[in-house]
Amino acid sequence: MLCLSEILLQHHELQSFDDLVRIVQEKARSGELFFEMDVRPPFPDTPEGWEDRLEAAFANPGRR
């Protein structure tokens, strides 16, 4: 299972929510089947509906 907290710990280079979305899409394309959003992304540009945006990025990794 892919956890959001693990992504944030492994990818210190992330600077924005959009960077995070790209990593989530990459993980989904690489074969991850489950995604848990166990923390709120710490970026200043994290939108109100961040959970929905990340879920959509994971479910449809070819779209933005």
pLDDT tens string 5-58:
999 999 999 999 999 999 999 999 999 999 999 999 999 999 999 999 999 999
User: The pTM is what?
Assistant: 0.92
pLDDT tens string 5-14:
999 999 999 9
Q: Crossing angle of helices 50-59/17-29, nearest 10°?
A: 30
pLDDT number for residue 64: 52
